[in-house]
Structure 1
Amino acid sequence: MKRILITGGAGFLGSHLSKRLLEEGNEILCVDNFYTGSRKNIYELLDHKNFELLRHDITHPLFVEVDQIYNLACPASPIHYQFDPVQTTKTSVVGAINMLGLAKRLKIPILQASTSEVYGDPQIHPQPETYWGNVNTIGPRACYDEGKRCAETLFFDYYRQHNLEIKVIRIFNTYGPNMNPQDGRVVSNFIVQALKGEDITIYGDGNQTRSFCYASDLIDGMVRMMNSPKEFTGPVNIGNPNEFTMLELANLILEITESKSKIVFQELPQDDPLQRQPVIDLAQNKLNWKPNIELEAGLIETIKYFKNII
């Protein structure tokens, strides 16, 4: 049994990770300030004897005793991270410094949930970990993109300077139960609009692509990374390499929901990436990981969840 700290533990991915690690027999310290996380996501875990919830903002130091740290805390959807961009950057940068300091003091491994957004609007497709990215440093998405890039820098500087055991994963588009229906992400947007019979809003011409990974697959990759050999630091892409256009995604959701919603097109937001697809060779070779849930099967489960909460 390990005592494991999960920052952002009441969020979409944090709640799935908390459940997975509890099922493996660990003690979980879930830390969240509930800016985007929700008690509903962890409601079924609150009475578990090995689960503890602490309301805390990681931009402030935290003094606890744990064996591992998963650093997931940060708003991850544009509608949330652009609402307070300064706080978003602080969460990524100051939060990383605080969690790295804790890991250094305790001499324990720490995993950073980074993002495919470090690649920006990529000029290389698909994206390998060796690609340095194409990010607008002063654009409206920079608070998230550059915050996560700086966090990666800090992780590797702590690794080189203090010999800290670090793990860095770059998460590509992920979906599944516990998504916030108001988070502005494409999967949740399309599902909510379809279930309500509203117009399906596609930004741009619908030919821009994303690669969608189901939450359980993503969490499996995350746990494998944390428990990989010490010398493997990453960064490593964790995502599903199957690429879909926004039109394909919208039509599939319309088909599954049997919705009569119509597809409408609006202007593409500034700096919104046109392509996103991970190269996962490193994850396959080093972690023996690859996603198993196909998009249609994952959407069916996600739609069931949204039907229950709308």
Structure 2
Amino acid sequence: MHIVIVDSSRVILKVVAGMLEPRGHVVTPFTDSAEALAYVTDNPRVRALITSLEVRPLSGLELCWSARLLAEVSRPLSIIVMSSVRNARNLSEALDSGADDFIDKPPGAEELQARLRAAERLTSLQSELIRLAETDSLTGLLNRRAFLQRTNEAAERAGSFGRLSAILLDIDYFKRINDEYGHDIGDVAIKAVSSLIDEAGIAGRLGGEEFAVVLPGHSLTEAEGLANRLRLKAMDLRIRSPRGPVRLTCSFGVSEWGEGETVEGLLKRADIALYEAKTSGRNRVVSAMNDLVLARTG
């Protein structure tokens, strides 16, 4: 487990790290609580934060509160407070500030390991609950709500002038596949297409046979290139069925983040481009550039 430890004493940090690292934990120590919070914020693989109450510039209670807000944004994190003064007030304040557990400073090795085993069980449960809440059960992609949340986060990081592109796609004549081969084969087709975009970017299933990919840091030209590669891969798919292999194609709409853009506007323009791709022949990529829609058949 990746653990961040915060204490003003380098001796305490060394002692606690010495208890944890031989057990296979990854330990990152800090004497500065603000730096620790920034590190935890930027590193979602951190699963436990152990902090003293007596830290600066953020107090231990402030650090607990800020870290708990991070944990509430769909990430598992266990927060343990340690203090050389154990009393009812310190304990209640720590728990009220978002801590999950409280331990003496310096902690005993066996007690610390037991607390961390409990933390690992807690974060594993949190991870599974988050997965169930965010994942489309058929494809394993992000569901619509989680996709929009991740896209909004990416848009905030991009700001007004950053690069961000979106691809919307759906399976052509999907109703025909369901009608001719059955819904089971239709589900297999959906899963096959989802496997093409699984690691392409922020990928989600918006519903039915419609998918979306958002590409932070990518221009419209780069998104077009990816969409065309995905289009060709979709053409190569062969879905097994009792009546022989099923072939399919997909249509794509692409848009790029612009100054003053909103996520709703970015996806709406990609959706308009996708509609154009569907009505102009299918199995093609259409790009939206401001108010101009350009058809690209690849």
Structure with a larger share of its residues in strand: 2
Structure with a larger share of its residues in helix: 2
TM-score (norm 2): 0.33
Kindly name which structure, 1 or 2, has the bigger radius of gyration based on alpha carbons.
2
